[in-house]
């Protein structure tokens, strides 16, 4: 027995090493260990190590050591790179993103700093491979293996893999179970938690190669009809009868489209959207028709950035305009790019790809750049970092913008990060006398890492935050947002000077919450322990124009609702059925979907991971309501993906 164990020492070493690395990885990222997850991960890991050992068995001696070391290094690199990526983006990269990984080298200093700050963890993860390379030839028997033994290894591989699959089935078929993530849906964080990192990446690779889409059968009747709000004052019955209800819809003959379509998938999409209840036009429809529009996606922006004394312009915009007290910015898989995609297209990003870049070849009739350009607006977009980052050179011109970034016409000083104020100073003169204008900004000054040594904006504005009663990381974060505040201060002054401030609508939202901050720092800035499934994503949506009456809107809303809300305010023709968000000012029932399929409505919050619903006012909510809203959420994910994959808007172009 001992001799047999010694003979298979290479396999034992590989298995124990990867198990150790996997545990270290879990502790450093998702930090969860359920019994089912451990069982599934154990059997799949064993199967993978048996596969590596079996492959290496076809060579012997030094060649086997080299091959096994090479394969082991690949596995270790996967774990280490995903760990680093998680620390920066709070999610895991996909195989699609790996193919576009060149841009991560722009953060090499931050990566190096992270490895230095977590030196012990880095060494522990790399230690098994160092030992294997240094002492493997002396420690491990590398003799020739018989075909009979290879047959046994193959049988063990099949057995372990089969038991892993059986455990997946045993987890149940509910939403976000191991079964759901293995066969039907894709959510990187949950997949790594329930299936393990290597299985998640294997599935992601398979899906990328096969052009897989989530297997979701959404209901034909997509949504309940909205409950109409009561009028503020009594309207005579006769007047109510005479009132004509108008909807934000286009004249689309879905019946004809269905009858003429040969592609069943497109037919299904037609059928779905024909059943969606559109939003009604309302008192806010066209309120800012003909106004100039400046739209900003602010890097890492959050309520923590708003302070009457430190960031007075942000404070003014947030309190003198529409005040959305229940607004959320959920995070998606591709960080900033997905945040832009949601706000600008009102679609949920497709898992596993860069949806914004992928949409660069699609017809996008409802985005503000294209829509306003048709109304003779000048339409420009700016980004004060590398213009090709996240493929913005592909996505943004397709939105209808004349696009400039660092490297293709926007001449800002190349620091890390670059200055929002400098971007504003250099760009405002290009459009301010070209009315009507629509300008879109993607800022960068608020980017992580939040320190006074590795962030130029934090260092530049350090003197303005030194007196604050916070940790250095919290101060550095606020210092980066000061640059955004100064940029907006300059913008308002220039609009005022040009005499267009009172006919220019400013809309600003975040790309995501500042995930570059440690959890303790977020709690510090919030003044309490922040709940991680919903509260973490609560944010501020700024909507302001000079001279407006401030108004508080408590209706739950999210960045998904920005495009339809602005379209309605500007009096644009659009079809509210074809967007995943809703006009916030409409009487539609609010719905905020999150990446893990959790949601918020006016009735409460549903945590899809724990499968618990928390009512807002203690109201009893039955299971049918939860199932119905969950089906709507699934439909929004599914049909957002289909719109992107099928270039669906082109199908209804006429």
How far apart CA 420 and CA 425 sit, in angstroms, is: 9
Global pTM reads 0.89
Position 263 pLDDT exceeds 70: yes
* CB environment 201-234: b (16+ within 10 A), e (fewer): bebbeebbeeeebbeeebeeebbeebeeeeeeee
- The sheet with strand 551-553 has its strands ordered as 402-406, 378-386, 437-442, 292-298, 504-510, 542-544, 322-324, 551-553
Rounded to 5 degrees, φ, ψ at 597 are 75, 10
- pLDDT value of position 103: 60
Report pLDDT for 3: 42
Starting at the earlier edge strand, list the strands of the sheet with 604-607: 591-593, 599-601, 604-607, 612-615
Over 90: is that where the pLDDT of 654 sits? Answer: no
- 223 pLDDT exceeds 50? no
pLDDT mean over 2-27 = 78
Confidence of residue 242 (pLDDT cuts 50, 70, 90): low
- What confidence score (pLDDT) does residue 104 get? 61
* For residues 157-184, average pLDDT: 92
Where does 237-651 sit in CATH, by number?
Answer: 3.40.720.10
At 441 the pLDDT is 98
Burial environment of residue 29 by CB neighbours within 10 A (0 to 12, 13 to 18, 19 or more): buried
On the question of pLDDT at 238 being above 70, the answer is no
Q: What pLDDT is recorded for position 84?
A: 83
H or E element in which residue 373 lies: helix 368-373
At residue 320, does pLDDT exceed 90? Answer: yes
Q: Torsions phi, psi of 41, nearest 5?
A: -65, -40
Domain ranges in the chain?
Answer: 2-210, 237-651
> Does residue 618 carry a pLDDT above 90?
no
Cβ-proximal residues to 583 (8 Å cutoff; 6+ apart), any chain: 248, 279, 282, 284, 561, 564, 565, 567, 568, 576
Q: With b meaning 16 or more CB within 10 Å and e meaning fewer, what string describes 478-487?
A: bbbbbbbbbb
pLDDT value at 493 more than 90: yes
Can you give the pLDDT at residue 106?
64
d(CA 302, CA 535): 12
- What pLDDT does residue 68 have? 86
Average of per-residue pLDDT across 275-303: 97
Residue-level pLDDT at 61: 85
pLDDT above 90: residue 216: no
Residue-wise pLDDT tens digits, 535-555: 999 999 999 999 999 999 999
pLDDT value, residue 224: 40
DSSP letter for 234, please.
Answer: -
Residue 243 reports pLDDT greater than 90: no
Per-residue pLDDT for 644 more than 90? yes
Higher per-residue pLDDT: 64 or 623: 623
Q: Which residues contact 241 (CB under 8 A, 6 or more apart)?
A: none
**Pair type for strands 542-544 and 504-510:** antiparallel
How confident is the prediction for the chain on average, in pLDDT?
A: 90
What's the rounded Cα separation, in Å, for the pair 542 and 559?
A: 11
Give the pair of three-digit tokens for residue 151: 């047959």
| Pairing mode of beta strands 327-328, 538-539 | antiparallel
pLDDT for residue 389 is more than 50: yes
Q: Rounded mean pLDDT of 156-180?
A: 92
User: What is the C-alpha to C-alpha distance for residues 318 and 314, in angstroms, rounded to an integer?
Assistant: 6
Q: Name the band, by pLDDT with cuts 50, 70 and 90, for residue 10.
A: confident
Whether residue 182 contacts residue 168, with contact meaning beta carbons closer than 8 Å, is answered with yes
Residue 212 confidence (pLDDT) above 90: no
Kindly report the three-state secondary structure assignment for every residue of 450-504: CCCCCCHHHHHCHHHCCCCCCCHHHHHHHHHHHHHHHHHHHHHHHHHHHCCHHHE
Which residue, among 107, 111, 106, has the nearest Cα to 407 in the 3D structure? 106
pLDDT band with cut points at 50, 70 and 90 for residue 241: low
pLDDT band at 220 (very low <50, low <70, confident <90, very high): very low
**pLDDT value of residue 236:** 56
Q: Beta-carbon neighbour count of residue 525 at 10 Å?
A: 20
pLDDT tens per residue across span 97-144:
776 655 666 666 677 767 777 677 778 888 888 888 887 777 777 777
Residue range 428-453: mean pLDDT, rounded? 96
Element (H, E) at 421: helix 420-431
Q: What pLDDT, on the 0 to 100 scale, is given for residue 339?
A: 96
pLDDT of residue 592 exceeding 70: yes
């Amino acid at each position: 027995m001992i001799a047999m164990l010694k003979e298979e020492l290479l396999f034992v070493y590989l298995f124990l090493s990867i198990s150790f690395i996997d545990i270290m990885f879990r502790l450093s990222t998702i930090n969860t260990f359920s019994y089912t997850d451990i069982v599934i991960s154990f059997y799949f890991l064993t199967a993978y190590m048996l596969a590596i050992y079996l492959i290496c068995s076809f060579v012997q001696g030094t060649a086997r050591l080299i091959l096994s070391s090479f394969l082991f290094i690949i596995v270790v690199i996967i774990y280490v790179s995903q760990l680093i990526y998680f620390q920066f983006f709070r999610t895991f990269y996909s195989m699609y993103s790996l193919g576009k990984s060149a841009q991560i080298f722009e953060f090499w200093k931050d990566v190096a700093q992270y490895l230095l700050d977590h030196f012990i963890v880095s060494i522990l993860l790399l230690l098994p491979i160092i030992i294997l390379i240094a002492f493997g030839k002396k420690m491990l028997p590398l003799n020739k293996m018989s075909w009979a033994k290879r047959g046994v290894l193959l049988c063990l591989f099949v057995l372990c893999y089969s038991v892993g699959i059986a455990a997946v089935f045993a987890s149940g078929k509910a939403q976000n179970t191991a079964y759901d993530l293995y066969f039907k849906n894709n959510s990187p964080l949950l997949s790594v938690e329930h299936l393990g990192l290597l299985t998640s990446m294997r599935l992601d690779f398979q899906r990328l190669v096969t052009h897989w889409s989530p297997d979701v059968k959404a209901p034909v009747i997509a949504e309940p009809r909205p409950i109409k709000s009561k009028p503020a004052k009594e309207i005579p019955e006769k007047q109510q009868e005479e009132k004509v209800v108008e909807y934000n819809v286009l004249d689309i003959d879905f019946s004809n489209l269905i009858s003429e379509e040969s592609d069943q998938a497109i037919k299904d999409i037609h059928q779905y959207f024909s059943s969606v209840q559109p939003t009604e036009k309302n008192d806010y429809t066209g309120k800012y028709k003909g106004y100039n529009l400046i739209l900003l996606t602010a890097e890492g922006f959050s309520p923590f950035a708003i302070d009457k004394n430190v960031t007075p312009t942000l404070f003014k915009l947030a309190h003198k305009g529409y005040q959305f007290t229940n607004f959320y910015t959920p995070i998606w898989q591709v960080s900033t790019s997905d945040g832009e995609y949601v706000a600008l297209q009102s679609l949920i990003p497709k898992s596993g790809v860069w949806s914004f870049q992928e949409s660069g070849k699609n017809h996008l009739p409802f985005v503000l750049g294209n829509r306003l350009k048709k109304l003779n607006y000048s339409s420009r977009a700016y980004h004060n970092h590398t213009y090709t980052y996240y493929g913005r050179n592909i996505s943004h011109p397709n939105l209808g913008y004349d696009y400039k970034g660092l490297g293709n016409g926007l001449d800002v000083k190349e620091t890390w990060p670059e200055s929002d104020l400098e971007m504003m100073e250099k760009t405002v003169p290009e459009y301010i006398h070209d009315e009507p204008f629509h300008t879109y900004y993607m800022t960068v000054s608020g980017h992580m890492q939040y320190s006074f040594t590795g962030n130029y904006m934090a260092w530049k504005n350090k003197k303005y935050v030194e007196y604050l009663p916070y940790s250095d990381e919290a101060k550095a974060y606020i210092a980066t947002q000061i640059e955004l505040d100064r940029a907006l201060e300059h913008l308002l002054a220039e609009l005022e000077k040009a005499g267009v401030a009172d006919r220019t609508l400013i809309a600003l939202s975040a790309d995501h919450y500042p995930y570059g901050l440690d959890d303790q720092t977020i709690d510090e800035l919030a003044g309490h322990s922040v709940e991680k499934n919903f509260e973490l994503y609560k944010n501020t949506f700024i909507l302001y124009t000079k001279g407006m009456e401030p108004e508080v809107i408590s209706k739950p809303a999210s960045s998904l609702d920005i495009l339809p809300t602005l379209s309605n305010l500007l009096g644009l023709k659009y079809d509210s059925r074809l967007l995943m968000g809703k006009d916030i000012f409409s009487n539609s029932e609010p719905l905020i979907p999150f990446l893990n399929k959790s949601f918020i409505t006016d009735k409460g919050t549903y945590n899809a991971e724990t499968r618990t619903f928390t009512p807002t006012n203690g109201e009893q909510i039955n299971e049918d309501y939860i199932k119905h809203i969950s089906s709507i959420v699934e439909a929004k994910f599914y049909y957002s993906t289909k719109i992107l994959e099928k270039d669906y808007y082109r199908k209804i172009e006429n």
